[in-house]
């Protein structure tokens, strides 16, 4: 079963999500890679206002490739989420509710996800062209000097992802391999 969810994310939506759930996300999401995360973190430390209100929002760890004529956006595949782990707990404290990326997360981020009732979605690497088809519009909203690494607001429809870490701290990157090993052992008997 595939769940259709919309942004901004609500607590009731987040509570019903479990690791392994396939989702199609519609609404606004924001791109932000590690450089932007450092800039946002520096603003937080200096008690300055962020250029985007993160309450209920979703950040996609990505920067689009150049857009060809006739397309809304260039290919936009996920980057490794762990590159942003140092800064993520502070953003979750400010109301960020969802993250889209690839790869596992640190223990500190998982604790912050659980504490702040957020969710981490895995996005398939290598599918950047297909993912771009779910983007209906794109607008740079902060740090335009960073080019493709700026914060872009994407209006998406049916953006595909999988719940990798749910709000209870269940981690597909930890439980998935464990379940696979159990299955392999049973089949070997």
pLDDT tens per residue across span 34-62: 999 999 999 999 999 999 999 999 999 99
Range of the domain at 108: 2-188
Lowest mean pLDDT among 46-50, 58-62, 92-96, 121-125: 121-125
CATH number of the structural domain spanning residue 94: 3.20.130.10
Q: Is 185 a residue whose pLDDT tops 90?
A: no
Which pLDDT belongs to residue 127? Answer: 87
| 4 among known catalytic residues | no
Which two three-digit tokens encode residue 88? 């993520």
Following DSSP, what letter does each residue of 4-64 receive, concatenated? EEESSPPHHHHHH--TT-EEEEEEEEEE--HHHHHHHHHHHHTTPPPSS--TT-EEE---P
Residue position matching structure tokens 């299955």:
183
This prediction's pTM:
0.92
What average pLDDT is seen over the chain? 93
Question: Average pLDDT, stretch 113-140?
Answer: 94
Q: How many structural domains comprise the chain?
A: 1
Listed range (77-81, 100-104, 179-183) with the worst mean pLDDT: 179-183
Q: Give residue 182's pLDDT.
A: 66
Q: Which of 2, 39, 9, 10 is nearest to 100 (CA)?
A: 9
What local confidence, expressed as pLDDT, does residue 178 receive?
65
Catalytic residue, chosen from 28, 33, 37, 105, is 37
Q: How confident is the model at residue 181 (pLDDT cuts 50, 70, 90)?
A: low
Mean pLDDT throughout 80-101?
97
Q: Is residue 95 within 8 Å of 44, Cβ to Cβ?
A: no
CB 61 within 8 Å of CB 33? yes
Report how far residue 104's alpha carbon sits from residue 29's, in angstroms, rounded to the nearest whole number. 20
pLDDT of residue 30 exceeding 80, the answer is: yes
Confidence band, pLDDT 50/70/90 cuts, at residue 142: very high
Tokens of 93: 């404290």
162: Cα separation from own chain's centroid: 10
């Amino acid at each position: 079963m595939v769940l259709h969810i919309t942004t901004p994310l609500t607590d009731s939506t987040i509570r019903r999500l479990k690791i392994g759930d396939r989702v199609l996300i519609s609404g606004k999401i924001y791109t932000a890679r590690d450089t932007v995360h450092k800039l946002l973190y520096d603003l937080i430390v200096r008690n300055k206002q962020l250029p985007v209100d993160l309450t209920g929002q979703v950040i996609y760890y990505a920067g689009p490739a150049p857009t060809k004529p006739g397309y809304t956006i260039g290919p936009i595949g996920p980057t490794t989420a762990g590159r942003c782990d140092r800064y993520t707990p502070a953003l979750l404290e400010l109301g960020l509710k969802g993250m889209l990326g690839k790869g596992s997360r640190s223990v500190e981020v998982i604790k912050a996800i659980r504490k702040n009732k957020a969710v981490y979605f895995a996005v398939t690497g290598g599918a950047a062209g297909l993912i771009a088809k779910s983007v209906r519009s794109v607008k740079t909203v902060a740090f335009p000097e960073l080019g493709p690494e700026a914060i872009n607001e994407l209006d998406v429809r049916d953006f595909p992802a999988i719940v990798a870490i749910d709000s209870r701290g269940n981690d597909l990157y930890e439980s998935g391999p464990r379940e696979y090993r159990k299955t392999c052992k049973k089949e070997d008997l």
